[in-house]
Chain A
Amino acid sequence: MIVLEKRPSPSKLWTALTPILAVIATMIAGSIMFAILGKDPFEAIRTIFWDPLFSEQFAAFSRPQLLVKATPLILIAIGLSIGFRAGVWNIGAEGQYIMGAVFGAAVGLAFYPLESVFIYPLMVIAGAIGGFLWAMIPGILRVKFHTNEILVSLLLVYVAEFILASVSLGLLRNPDGAGFPGSRNLKEYASAFNGELLVNTGIHWGTIAAMIAVIFAYILFARHTMGFHLRLAGEAPKAAQFAGVKPGYLVLFCFAVSGAFAGLAGLFEVSGPAGQINIDFNVGYGFTAIIVAFLGRLNPIGILLAGLLMALTYIGGELASFMLGIPDAAIQAFQGMLLFFLLAVDVLSNYRFRLRKVEAA
């Protein structure tokens, strides 16, 4: 009989190998799914993973898109990983992303048509504050009232979506927009536009912020006492209590940071690639970032690589739906499968398989 035996300490080899194994398993399962859909599995996998980077036809267009899609994923995922490591589950990143975009765009549009170099920094601060405030709701409710933060942060996502719809049709609606919903397009407002910094690379201010976030998280966990406390609270809560870690403070810190990062991601998206506040502004980055965080094993460098991989599946998915007629929903199922396989092979880093004789009672 095959049994699981706990390892004395987590295996470093398997911790590094599991994401690769999971990706390979997902490719196999995904190709079975595509075959059932009636598409050639090898062509589908090649279109999703290889073509966006190396094909002569598309790569020049899709390579810059990679960083555009990866930036919000990495930024949000870094914030989430800080919380997940400590056992603080901020699932409402999508709502914080929306609120950051709304706050930031509101500040930017309040100054229209003034042109000044100070407007964009103010928008960035507003975006961070928006996400921070929205994340503080589940944070404070957990600390003060022991309310489950998963449910509160999730329900607030739906509330945020309604607020987004409300401001797109009301407060932030473009007066010159012929009655259509949606705010003024920030691409036409130079002081508020987050354009490409280097032509054809897709790098914008958000990408810089994401890089800084990766470095911040790395230093936090590797060198700072707070990072140690976070890891301790996640892995051994009783030991953390003995070490004097204040649990409420930790929870608030995690929500503050992840909320601010998600809000920043929203701001950089709305002032850059998306351009305007509209009812369909949010595309699910907040939820995909959860997958990115786990795929990166909650480690900053891992999240950087995982974010790039997820962006590849987004771009590849768009290419596949364009070239092969594979529906967009297939890519969402694909990403969900990736998380499943990752969680499944994760057992190998903490346990090993052994053959045991069945014992007599």
Chain B
Amino acid sequence: MDFSAISPSLLIASLMVASTPILLAALGELVVEKAGVLNLGVEGMMIMGAICGFATAVETGSPALGFIVGAIGAAALSLIFAILTQYLMSNQVATGLALTLFGLGFSSLIGQGYVGIRPPAVAKLDLGPLSEIPFAGTAFFKHDLMVYLTIGLCLAIWFTLTRTRLGLTIRALGENHDAAHALGYKVITMRIFAILFGGACAGLGGAYLSLIRVPQWTEGMTAGAGWIALAIVVFGSWRPLRVLLGAYLFGGFTVLQLNLQAAGLAIPVEYLSMSPYIITILVLVFMSAPRSGSKKSKPLSAPACLGRSFYNSN
């Protein structure tokens, strides 16, 4: 067992890279759930983004275009979910699951010819003197653009939701859609835009997986990342900065167990591999448990109208 082989600054660097896809998907899902819609199809949208981004990058040679098309592809898939749940008022849980199953199958179909191909490389940003700092340089300043854009997105979402009128409207939709409708806000239109935004973010996360993190295309390559993203939204109590923390925590565990496997820790590989999922479950339990002394049966600050269909009865 050779723990000295694990370098802390490299650990932090790979943690940030590993967390980015999940963080992107979780931020998108955060906005969707704040607007009151429970979209369980994150896994399907991520993998659609992964294959659309990968295929575009391979065909055109431009990773940037790959990211854009990945986001558009996933958003297009989420449009199906939006029409079904907002216009046709179908059950959100079942529709989300259908989205996941369809997304997984459809992406495998599109990805038939792309297994084993290497995508065009994405350059790491050169931040000059910042990258030269001994520990922090390797840990924080040697990443590609998407990592920094994701953190920026997190801050932007936090600012929008807490400090702008748009954010207030979105939160109103999620807490009481009947009141928001009475106030004159277009509930269904705004929710559809929220769902498309969530889809685009999940697509970006998936494209990050297939273009930078892995980088390759394999069937089912998200391996539950979408579900982890959903769990992280709950873990973060529907607050963007806590979601950032949760994503980095999960990414940290994933990277740590890989490093422990490489260092030769005497626990079988499968048990180390399942530890991130078990940690996520334990964290969910801890976050959902009623606090001592609290009389409320639902202590989580979930949006009150989460998962309920809006029916305009006039």
Q: Which residues of A contact B (CB under 8 A)?
A: 4, 6, 37, 89, 91, 141, 144-148, 150-152, 154-156, 158-159, 162-163, 165-166, 169-170, 287, 290-291, 294, 327-337, 339-340, 343-344, 346-347, 350-351
Contact = CB atoms under 8 A, between A and B. Distances in A.
Contacts of A291: 98, 101
A291 B230 CA distance: 21
Interface in B219-262: 219, 223-224, 227-228, 230-231, 234
B112 A327 contact: yes
A188 B277 CA distance: 36
A329 B218 CA distance: 13
Contacts of A331: 105
B197 to A, nearest CB: 21
Contacts of B301: none
B103 interface: yes
B55 interface: no
B78 interface: no
Contacts of A151: 227, 230-231, 234, 281, 284
A163 B104 contact: no
A148 B234 contact: yes
Interface string B28-54: 000000000000100000000000000
B271 A166 contact: yes
A158 B270 CA distance: 11
A91 B208 CA distance: 27
B313 interface: yes
Contact of A336 (B98, B111, B277): B98
Given A152-B284, A339-B101, A163 B268 contact: no
A21 B309 CA distance: 23
A151 B226 CA distance: 11
B189 interface: no
A351 B97 contact: no
Contacts of B271: 162, 166
A329 B270 contact: no
29 contacts: A91-B97, A145-B285, A145-B290, A146-B288, A146-B297, A150-B40, A155-B228, A162-B273, A165-B270, A166-B270, A327-B108, A329-B105, A329-B107, A329-B219, A333-B102, A333-B105, A333-B106, A334-B105, A336-B99, A336-B101, A336-B104, A339-B94, A340-B84, A340-B95, A340-B102, A343-B90, A346-B91, A347-B88, A351-B89
B89 A347 contact: yes
Given A166-B271, A337-B102, A351-B89, A159 B278 contact: yes
B117 interface: no
Nearest to B226: A154
Interface residues of B, number: 52
Nearest to A87: B93
Contact of A287 (B101, B227, B311): B101
Contacts of A335: 101, 105
A6 B234 contact: no
Most chain A CB neighbours (cut-off 10 Å) among B88, B94, B227: B94
Nearest to B297: A146
Given A159-B274, A332-B105, A347-B88, A290 B97 contact: yes
Most chain A CB neighbours (cut-off 10 Å) among B89, B107, B271: B89
B280 interface: yes
Contact of B90 (A144, A163, A347): A347
Contact of B270 (A163, A328, A340): A163
A159 B102 contact: no
A291 B90 CA distance: 14
Contacts of B288: 145-148
Interface string B141-175: 00000000000000000000000000000000000
Given A155-B280, A162-B274, A343-B98, A332 B289 contact: no
